[in-house]
Structure 1
Amino acid sequence: MATEDENHYINLCKNPIRFEPVSRANNVFFDDANKQVFAVRSGGAMGVVMKGPEEKAMISFRMEDRGDIISIKFSCDKKILAAQRSIKTVEFLNFQEDMSTDQQEYSQSCKGEATEIRGFVWTNVCEIVFITSTGLEHYQVIPEKRTLKRLKTLSLQINWYFWMANSSLLLISSSTLGNVLHPFQFKQPGIITRLPKFEVDLPVVPKPPKLSLFDRDVLVAVIYEILYIVFLRHPQSASCGAEIVLYQLQKEGPAKKTDILKLDMSGRFAVNVVDNLIMVHHQASKTSVIFDIRLEGKSDGYVTYHHPVLPALGIKPFKLLLPSVNMQAGTDKTEYNCELYSANWIVFQPDIVIDAKLGCLWTLKLNLNLL
């Protein structure tokens, strides 16, 4: 007999992480380095609930409500919480082994009156980097003294950034067009390794020049143990299909363009990398295609061109039990058919899909028997 998943090579995991959905009173944040979802409920003392696929149990605690949170992340050992409430300052809170807090917060402001914090990433257990409008600020956090020590500052014009924790790689976009990318690695405590910068080829350069390469179209991925910068290149006209361009990161020279994946579609896309396969989701057609760069493609001597290994197919439908609107139906739960490829979906690497309005975090599963 055919199995339930036989006609679906991409499935959402059967037991998603459930959290309180986004509402007027509740905000949701995702730390893609630690794979943790934070549901933050404001009003009086700020209530925070943290969950994640790798967590044995949820963690809940309270913080003083001193304004809306912009970003919130634990250090990798979950002993220090960093929360950004303003464009100038990040606040810190120490945690004990039992996940209780000492309730005494401390903070660090960025350098320069006109400087703004665009975001921050934990690079080591007690090290954090502020990505600002004028560069990088690298700090050591000293929790027992409730203070931070500045390790290094790098000046750089920054449009946006992408952080890949597994490879300790921070990718920075600079220049007017945004297509000059600077890779930095933080593999050794206290040390920033600056890799050669490189330029992404844009399909068209606007006049006058303006930001044309956005963070939503770039990600970093490890594919077959090689580090790639993955760039979604949108077509110049509706008659052409979009492409995904792979740049292989080099230690001794600029990243090298190696592969181009032909999508033959245009519109809104999202990309995951699962089991070394590149999975591209297309919202308009509600389908996904898969590429395997190990399979033979057509080469022009410099770049190898690839097509999907299978025709476009949809993710397997998923049902959720949600509180019933009609309480007289004899049950307080009702089955809900999730909207696949929803505009509310946000995709994170390598295999995560989040719907903040539903309050769900899934991991994607591949049915490799079909491939």
Structure 2
Amino acid sequence: MQICSWISTKMAEDQSHYVELSGNPIRFEPISRQTNVFYDEVKRQVFAVRSGGAFGVVVKGTDEKTSTTFRMEDKGPVISIKFSADLRILAVQRSQRTVEFINFHSGSADTTEYSQTCKGKTTKINGFNWISGNEIIFITDHGLELYQVTAEKKTLRSLKTISIGINWFTFMNDSSLLLVSSSTLGNVLTPIHFKTGNVTKLPKFEVDLPVIPKPPKLCLLERDVTIAILYSVIYVVVLRHQPRGPSNQGAEIVLYQVQRESPAKKTDVLRLDMSGRFAVNVVDNLVVVHHQASKTSMVFDIGLAPSETDNNCNYHHPVLAPLPIKPVKLKVAGIPTQTGLEMREVGVDLYSPNWVVFQPNIVIDAKLGCLWHISLRLDALVPMIPDKCRLIDFLLLRRESKKVILYVLQTALVPGQHCNLATIAKIFNKLNEVYRTYLAERHAHHAEEASSPKSSQSAARVSSGTRVVIDQSDMYTHVLTPVAERKDSSHKFLVAVLVEYIRSLNQYQIPVQHFLYELVINTLVHHNCFYQLHQFLQYHVLSDSKPIACLLLSLESCYPPAYQLALDMLKRLTTANEEIIEVLLSKNQILAALRFLRSVGGAESASSRKFLEAALNAEDDMLFYTVFKFFEQRNLRMRGNPMFAPGEHCEKFVHKFEQKFGYESFVPVQ
């Protein structure tokens, strides 16, 4: 019930927003006449450069290791500034032809700079990016120049040059992919992949344009294109504005899947049904689109079934209706007091014209001096998707959704507002399909480890792709047991749900844990549904197992037939001979135990002492005589001698037999 209470509290807070900004933004000095602000998408650092660096450069990263301050000589306005991956070299572009480098030692800047000018007298540098510890790529209007930087010698060595006309570019470090725009219209895009020392040009492709201007001019702009990773696949994301007119259905986002051997192919279209200025983030494999005019955001999930499909292209509508980002307040310095500046909270202007978004989930307001991370409020969107099956499909694809899924499952079984059994069955199938995949992957991983432990990655993590796994223990602890404990629950409905869950597990060939069967049995017994219990066992709705048999034995006092049901179950198992004998002996059915022992051929290994003790305690001389003679004959067959071996510790019973029946009653020793 704790999960249910936690989610309910979160949902009660606010149900009109499902996108939010991080509570503690990275704060930096706002942009001004003296201060320029830059963001490095690779290292995820914000640079606040005062007066060209002469008055200091403040670098804010995601943690203290990537944050620093330093000064550098003012040699003119900074166009771009970025640290190498190890933070040992700073690259600064102040002109269209040259990039300067500054070495850092223990966080302090070297006083001597060195530089590299691009090749060609008329070539201009559009930008640059570090692609490894000491390799840097210059993107010029004439192509690409790859250099290796040697910090100790303060030199650069050219590794590779690629000639290609470039209008603009975008770079994604997570995939080591650079995308460059060529042609007059700008719609010919070439993906370029980097690997230490190597540059691989992937096949170029052409982006469809809604209208081609006359005369032709650059119409696919950098601001409308980005690279994203969705469900481990790289896509080029293109915002496509529709021409104005009565037939305008609004803008759309087109996804092109990047491929190594062939041109990127158009796979998905996200229909925005709006026009104006948009910005795109990627959060948890979702495309989050912000619309400035309406001040709302919408969410698309290409992992869900599309609205329609045409020519191998999937068309998607927003998962939810567009809603604004959750309002956020910022602490700012207020009125000076004797103890210092009094802090006050002010509301942030959401969807501000000053906002700039970066991939995957960054929003920067340079004028305000804040960097936020965009995130999704899964708890808030639960009531916004009334179709429980679609909701589960959506949540299974989210990384941190386990608590929310368990809450949805629990509420789906709440008395008075529960889903029908058909819907519950579909939900169970969706959960167990993922669960089965996870178990298969784990089995394959363990098999690989066993066959080649040295080559196996010890840190390899078993996963079910990107989907959350809800196993039987989760269901039992957080869903089924809490529902069973509710006083207003219908035991008939609960049993039906349990049977449906067991059916689904069997359908996906997942071994059912005994605690689920126990919950069924205990529920039936608690409500005196013994006939139904008998039927479930008779028709094998409840599978045979030792724990279930033991539970049935414990129910004999309230339901006498449970004893025979348990005994029959143990016999069917064929691996529970010892347990059957124990049960028979505990019921003083000693001769029945001997007959069973003989039928399964277990007399040779049986403990004669255990049987003789039980027979003696029964205070029936004829029974004791029969058991003693049974084991005498066994000893004779095994060893050619009727006497008990010293290790069997049967001296007490031999003495008792002699007392009761006389020495002459022993089988003569040959």
Given the two structures, how large is their TM-score scaled by the length of structure 2? Answer: 0.54
Match of 2:4 in 1: none
Deviation string, structure 1 residues 77-112 (Cα, Å, up to 9, x no partner): 11100000111100001112x211222110000111
Match of 1:265 among 257, 274, 281: 274
Match of 2:222 in 1: 215
Counterpart contact for 1:5–1:367, Cα < 8 Å: no
Match of 1:109 in 2: 117
Structure 1 pair 348–5 and aligned structure 2 pair: CA distance change class (3 A):
farther
- Report % sequence identity: 61
Counterpart contact for 1:35–1:54, Cα < 8 Å: no
Match of 2:312 among 277, 295, 302: 302
Alignment of 1:174-253 (within 5 A): 174-187=182-195, 189-237=196-244, 239-253=248-262
Query: What letter is aligned with 1:193?
Result: T
Deviation of 1:240 (Å): 2.3
Counterpart contact for 2:52–2:73, Cα < 8 Å: no
| SS at structure 1 position matched to 2:13 | coil
CA distance in 1, matches of 2:342, 2:324: 31
Structure 1 pair 77–328 and aligned structure 2 pair: CA distance change class (3 A):
closer
Deviation of 1:300 (Å): 1.3
Deviation of 1:58 (Å): 2.8
Deviation of 1:264 (Å): 0.4
CA distance in 2, matches of 1:242, 1:54: 38
Deviation of 1:323 (Å): 2.0
Match of 2:92 among 75, 83, 93: 83
Deviation of 1:155 (Å): 0.9
Query: Is residue 66 of structure 1 aligned with residue 66 of structure 2?
Result: no
Deviation of 1:57 (Å): 6.3
Higher relative contact order (CA 8 A, sep 6+): 1
Q: CA RMSD in A?
A: 1.6
Match of 2:468 in 1: none
Query: Is residue 338 of structure 1 aligned with residue 348 of structure 2?
Result: yes
Deviates more, 1:107-116 or 1:50-59: 50-59
Deviation of 1:221 (Å): 0.4
Deviation of 1:213 (Å): 0.3
Deviates more, 1:331-340 or 1:201-210: 331-340
Query: What letter is aligned with 2:169?
Result: Y
Counterpart contact for 2:52–2:76, Cα < 8 Å: no
Larger Rg: 2
Match of 2:62 in 1: 53
User: Structure 1 or 2: larger strand share?
Assistant: 1
Count of residues paired in the alignment: 368
CA distance in 2, matches of 1:110, 1:134: 10
Structure 1 pair 40–331 and aligned structure 2 pair: CA distance change class (3 A):
closer
Match of 1:347 among 329, 349, 357: 357
Query: Is residue 132 of structure 1 aligned with residue 140 of structure 2?
Result: yes
Structure 1 pair 212–274 and aligned structure 2 pair: CA distance change class (3 A):
same
CA distance in 1, matches of 2:52, 2:59: 18
| SS at structure 2 position matched to 1:186 | strand
Given the two structures, how large is their TM-score scaled by the length of structure 1? Answer: 0.96
Match of 1:149 in 2: 157
Counterpart contact for 2:148–2:158, Cα < 8 Å: yes
Structure 1 pair 126–331 and aligned structure 2 pair: CA distance change class (3 A):
closer
Query: What letter is aligned with 1:296?
Result: A
Deviation of 1:301 (Å): 3.3
Deviation of 1:272 (Å): 0.4
Deviation of 1:223 (Å): 0.1
Query: What letter is aligned with 2:204?
Result: K
Counterpart contact for 1:163–1:170, Cα < 8 Å: yes
Counterpart contact for 1:108–1:148, Cα < 8 Å: yes
Match of 1:4 in 2: 13
Unaligned runs of 5+ in 1: none
Structure 1 pair 174–54 and aligned structure 2 pair: CA distance change class (3 A):
farther
